[in-house]
Each structure stands twice: as C-alpha cells, then as structure tokens.
Structure 1
Amino acid sequence: MCSITKLWVLNALVFLLGFPFILCSIILPNDLPKHRSVRYIPGNRAEELHMMRQRRNAPPGRSDGSSDIIKPKVMIVAMFNLEADAFLKNYTPTLYGLNITIPGLSPRYPEVYCTTTGEVCHITTAEAEINAAASMSALIYSRMFDLTETYFLIGGISGINPNYGTTGTVTFPRFAVQFGLQYEIDSGQLPGGGGFGSRFFTQGTKQFKSNLYPGVLYGTEVFELNEALRKRAFLAANGAKLVDTEEAAKYRRLYTMPAARASPGVTLCDTGTSDTWWTGSVLAEAFGNLTILLTNGTGEYCTTQQEDNASLAVLVRAAAADLVDFGRVIILRTASDFDRAPPGVDELYHLLQAPQGGFAGAIANIYVAGVRFVNEIVTQWDGMYRVGIRPTNYIGDILNALGSPHGHVPDIGVEDQFFIPVMY
C-alpha cells in the first residue's frame, strides 16, 4: 500500500535509478484537493468558465474529421473532473488520441475521449442524477458509437458504511438502490409512535412505518448487475496496491468497527443513490433497511453516491432497444468518506469539517483498481470478453423491463408490477 505523502519521493528515485516502471501505478498531483468543494472556489470557477467557452465552439463529431462509427471495447464513465483525471492523466495509451464532441453532453464535459484505436473511451457525465441521465442518453443516442458490445465501467467516489469498509476501499456492487424515491416528512413534524427515527418511509403506503414494501414503483428503485462479471472485476482488482494517506489512517482509528479501522481493500457490497448528500447513523440505518427490503433480503448497503441509478436507467432502456448489453455493466465505487461520524464526533462537523483524509486515496484508487479490469477486457477480448460473460443471476430493473434476457427469475420486485410478463 502506498502513501500519497511519499509518492513524489518514491517516483523521483525511480526516475533517477532508471527503472522502467512507476511505483503504485499512478502519479498524483501535489495539489490534489482534500474535499470536492474545492472545485467551487472562485479561481476554479473562472478557469472552468474559460474552458466551457472554448469547448462551446467545437463542432460536433470526431476530432480527426472522420465519420466512422467508433466501437469501443470499454467505456469508462466518470462524474466530475477529478474522477475523470484518474484515468485521463494516467491511462496508456493516451485517452486523448481521439476527441468526440457530442451535442447534449454537459457543457462542463462536452467531449468523449478515446484512444486512437477507439478501443477504450471515457465520458464525464457531470454530477447528480439528472446530469448522469442526460449525458448518458446523449452518448447512446448520438449514434456516433456502436455500443452493442461495449463494457461500461462506471468509476467514481462514494461515502462508505464503516461496517463494510474504510476510506480508500474499492467496492463492486451487484445492486444499486435509489434512496430518494420515498415519502419524507420534516423531523419537527414527525408523528409519535412511528417506531423508527428516520423521517423517510416508502411510497404508496398508508402508514408511517418502516419496512413496508412500496405500494407504487417508478422502475428506478433497484437495478441488478451481472454477478459473474462483477466477480471477474473483483478478482482483477483484488491485490492492487491501493493508495492511502496518513490523515485517513488517523481518522479511521476513531471508529470501533473492524472494517472501518482496517486498511483499504477490495470488497463486494451494494450501493445507494441519492441526490441529497446525507450523513448520520439514523439515515444510514434507514437506507440499509430499504436496501434489504427492495432487494428481497439480498442486498447489503455499503456505499452512497449521487448518480448510479440514473446511469443504469438509461442503460436498461438502451438495452431494451438493443443498443447496449446490460450484462456488460460494472460499477466501481471507492470510499472518500464515511457515511456517519465515529463515536463522540458531531455529525455536522463530520460532514463539513472533519479531516477524514480519504478523498485523495479514493480518487487514485479508481484508476489503481479500475485499470486492471480495463486492461483485462482489452487483452482478453478475443478469448473471453467479445462473447460476453454470461450472467448467473437476474439482471435488469425492478420492473423486469428487459424480460429476463438470460432466463433467470427476477429476484427483485414483485411479479404483479413487472412491465413485461416473463415466460418460463
């Protein structure tokens, strides 16, 4: 495991000694911020506006002037600039070999970047659910790409449940649960006798109680991914020399859970999507219970982020139109912070000011872990990945909109709400 504070010294020694490799697989800039909010200081905002004005003048299409459709083996998906830089500044061959400007992408990130061959490409959607859905839709329906055999690696940072991991940890979920699709009542107006502390309860129900199955489903509440592919990604990433920081190690020692106190690792556990950046054990417990409820007792909530259900909703609809293969989707989420404070620490302080120290390691580990799987797909394309990794489980959404394409009985949702009747 590598410490960011020592990386520049180690890599300087490597250069002087002439070794043909780079320690820890990634070089991090010295000015990498500790918190995402650094992007909104005036200096960064002015630079961003300047870049947006420049990009706005770029005509749609490929930078090489060709009209050929690109057929990537892998499409890497990031949500904001620092997540994107993890791959864009480190991947070899360069992802700046070919730039494709697509109408409808975020004005902050209007281009898809690809290697010269087009085998590996990269899109940045911008943050939160609406941005993710809009950008992914623009990508797929641009028809500048043939994505029917493409593997999608959604790689970003997240908050982590200290019962399942620590800052810097790399996670691969099977289920993505949308936390925000619930009823909510202000905490100052909660009725007595609810039996739980959270102000959330499931939609379409008639009682203020926890663990009641929703009476109405919108279709984006839960998505299930290819378990066989997830395990391959896990095996590829497991054993990577993950980046850590001394500050993160210090803060994690405040927790009592063994998983929180341990060094970063690679694990299999599930993720939850919410536009609201929340914190605290009360909400964490409520969302953990919702994950169990909506996955019929199978899911294990361990990370929280803002985009995945939106991206997956677009990919399911594209799969229904035979534009993508939903069995080729992987989510990789690294832990930048804890979803609740350690004992004796105020939750508001924990959210806004605590020196958790996990941000830099989480950004770095998107690449450190993710590149191993990307490289495996590219190098083993003909022998394994071209034909695909056949799912061993149900894949799709909670409404079975894909109609169980591999014949597995849905293990999420309820049959009377399935969009397409399943024939067994």
Structure 2
Amino acid sequence: MLKRLLALSALSLCGTALVAPAFSLPAAAESSPAKIPVRVVVVTTFEIGKDTGDTPGEYQNWIEKLPLSQTLPAPGTDHEVMHYNPELQVLAIASGEGPQHMASAMTALILDPRFDLRHSYFVLAGIAGIDPNFGTIGSAVWAPRVINGGLAHLIDPREIPKDWPDGFTPVQGSRPDQSPRPPLHSLSGDMVYTLNPGLTNWAYGLTRSISLPDSDGMKQSRARYRGYAPAQKPPSVMIGDTISGETFWVGKLMNRWAERWVRYWTDNKGVMATTAEEDIAFCQALALQAKAGRVDPDRALLLRTASNFDMPPPGQTAAQLLSDEANEKGYSAFIPSVNAAYQIGSVVVRELATHWDRYENTIPSAGK
C-alpha cells in the first residue's frame, strides 16, 4: 500500500493527472494525433486547370496570395486536395460546382477526424450572376440570406394560368402567391437560411469602403443596360440576398421570377442581388452538422462577386445572352470577379485569423 501511495505521489509531482486504473484511457486514444487547428475555412467552388500558375478560378488566388503553402488530401470531395496556412491556421477547399458537390464536400470536411471545427468560421467566396436592378458586374455582395431557387412546383410556361406571374409555386402550395406562406423548413426541404446578421453586417462594414477595380470591358458591358441605373454604376461592395439553385437560368422573365421568389419567401424583407448554385447546400450542410455539435452556423459568411448579369440588356434576347455566356463572351468581369472574391474575402479572413484571441470565443458583430 505504501509503495502504491509513493508511486501516486511521484505521478502527481510530474503533473500527470491521477486516473484510477479501471478508468484509464485506451492506448489508441492516448496516442491519437492532435487535431489540425483551423480558425477559418475558406470555401470556393471550382478551379480552372491547375491550382497554381495558370488562369485562376475561385480557388487559385487564395493558394497563391494568402498564401496556403501546405497541401492536404481531401477525401470525399470532387477536388481531392485542400490547402492550409499553418501560421494563420486557415484551411481552404474547392467543393466542386453545384449543390451536390458542395453538400458532399462540406460533410466530408466536417466529419474529417483531422479537424475540430466547432469554433471555426466559414467564408464561402465565389462568383455569381447579378441582377441589374440591384448592382453591376465586378461588385462584391455579402449575403444576409440564401433563398432556395431550386425547390418548387413548376407548370410549363405554355400552360400557366393567365393571371399567374410565372409557373412557380411552393412545393407545399398550388398558387404562386400561396397564402399563408408555407413554412420555411418542411419535409420537402429548406427554403431560406438567414446568416448571422451581426456577423454579416460586421464583414460588410469592414470592407464596404474598399475600391474594386474597373475596366474598359466592364464599362462597355454595363453601358448597354440602359434604364438600369444600378447596373451602370462602377463596382462596389454591397449587401444583398442570393438565390440558389442548380438550374443556370437567364433572361428578363426568369429574373422577374427570382425577384418575386425572394420577396415571397422573405415576407418582402429580402432584396434579390445575386444568383448562384451552391449556397443553399452550404447552409444546409452546416445546419445539419450543427445539430451534432460539430460546427457553429452562426460563424458562416457568404460572399458572391458578380462575373455577369443574369439577364440581357435591352435589344438582346435571352438566347443570345446564353450563347455569349456559353462561348465565354458574356463574362467580361470573370477575372475581376475572381480577384474581387479574394480582395474582399481575404480582409475578413485575415482579421479573424490574426486576432484569434478576440474572435475565438466571441463572434464579431456590427456596432460592437
């Protein structure tokens, strides 16, 4: 007995926790590797060609400019690799385009045993189409809300009742203006996610005065949008809602539907700004994994930068615009928008990462 007490005393002097033998941790648990620390996860959706050294997609600027010097395998994702900065503790992924790729990549990342992401911030930074009634190409838009533009009932346009504005109705309803409005979350799916307003406004306030580059090509493109005053202004940092769906729609009538759809699902509080594919899946993955305590969706930000308008200018048909975009003639702001996503997004990412003592346990909020 005396020998046992002496042994325990020696352990205590060495600073080792005293654990009764019956409750000691298994050897495997004791030797499990330490988690890779992650302060911020940068989420992009695609890359063109190589990850470095050629024409950049959404991912390349982060790798080269932040920079992200370490390459890590990314099992369960379309891109298969992710990149990491050990000094800033910033991790970046390219999910792959479309909501399915985004949902798979986010779930794989969050379940990856190498990381503990419970206090990590998530910044989705990608390009988008922009409503010329809201803004112009080259702009950067922080989204306070994501509206699901892919989940709906749809009547063929040739069979739409004459008193309907379009053929879209809620899955839980039979009219475009179904009243009362169905719930935002149902067995059919999720229609709206509201990101943390304080954090979104904080990010917007941190970046709103940053000047974004302009070009002759962008000036020529926006000059064609006669009668759309917001479209003819130079690019700027803005705040507005994004509509998310897998179908790559174009045209004035579809834009009118998207504006209505945003107003309908936000009880006239939302303003349709940008259109993209992956955002609803990004929010859904975070929300579901939050139920298991693996992430905090209040630490998510969504930044979309405008590479193109979502409808043609006066004098051009939707089919002509689609042809231009299919042949990459309609993306006069592609490179500026890719650059803007990094230029604006990196300000927020660096602020969070370099002042981790301030933001690890306290989420920043506008006015605080």
Q: Mark yes or no: TM-score above 0.5.
A: yes
1:206 to 170, 174, 184: 174
1:240–1:303 CA distance, 2 compared to 1 (3 A)? same
Q: Which amino acid aligns with 1:87?
A: W
Distance 2:174 2:196 in 1: 35
What SS class does the counterpart of residue 313 from structure 1 fall into?
Answer: helix
Q: Deviations over 1:253-311 (max 9, x none)?
A: 11122210000000110001010100112111212112112122211111000001101
Counterpart of 1:346 in structure 2 is: 317
Distance 2:178 2:167 in 1: 13
1:95 to 55, 68, 73: 68
Counterpart of 1:80 in structure 2 is: 46
Distance 2:306 2:269 in 1: 22
What SS class does the counterpart of residue 294 from structure 2 fall into?
Answer: coil
1:361 aligns to 2:333 (yes or no): no
Distance 1:101 1:119 in 2: 16
- How does 1:22-37 map onto structure 2 within 5 Å? none
Counterpart of 1:388 in structure 2 is: 362
- How does 1:132-211 map onto structure 2 within 5 Å? 132-188=102-158, 190-196=159-165, 198-207=166-175, 209-210=176-177
1:316 aligns to 2:284 (yes or no): no
Q: Using the TM superposition, name which of 301-310 and 345-354 deviates more.
A: 345-354
Q: Which amino acid aligns with 2:40?
A: V
1:84–1:246 CA distance, 2 compared to 1 (3 A)? same
Quote the offset at 1:211 in angstroms: 5.2
Quote the offset at 1:355 in angstroms: 4.0
What SS class does the counterpart of residue 347 from structure 2 fall into?
Answer: helix
Runs of 4+ deviating beyond 4 Å: none
Report if the CA contact (8 A) 2:130-2:273 is conserved.
yes
Q: Which amino acid aligns with 2:43?
A: V
How many pairs are equivalent? Answer: 318
1:90–1:390 CA distance, 2 compared to 1 (3 A)? closer
Give the aligned CA root-mean-square deviation in angstroms: 1.9
- How does 1:22-421 map onto structure 2 within 5 Å? 67-81=33-47, 82-91=57-66, 94-96=67-69, 98-106=70-78, 109-117=79-87, 119-188=89-158, 190-196=159-165, 198-207=166-175, 209-210=176-177, 212=179, 213-214=181-182, 217=186, 218-255=188-225, 256-353=227-324, 355-383=330-358, 385-389=359-363
What SS class does the counterpart of residue 87 from structure 1 fall into?
Answer: helix
Q: Deviations over 1:322-358 (max 9, x none)?
A: 1111111000000011111111111111222154511
Report if the CA contact (8 A) 2:129-2:276 is conserved.
yes
TM-score (norm. length: structure 1): 0.71
Report if the CA contact (8 A) 1:72-1:150 is conserved.
yes
Report if the CA contact (8 A) 1:70-1:118 is conserved.
no
Q: Which amino acid aligns with 2:172?
A: G
TM-score (norm. length: structure 2): 0.82
What SS class does the counterpart of residue 267 from structure 1 fall into?
Answer: strand
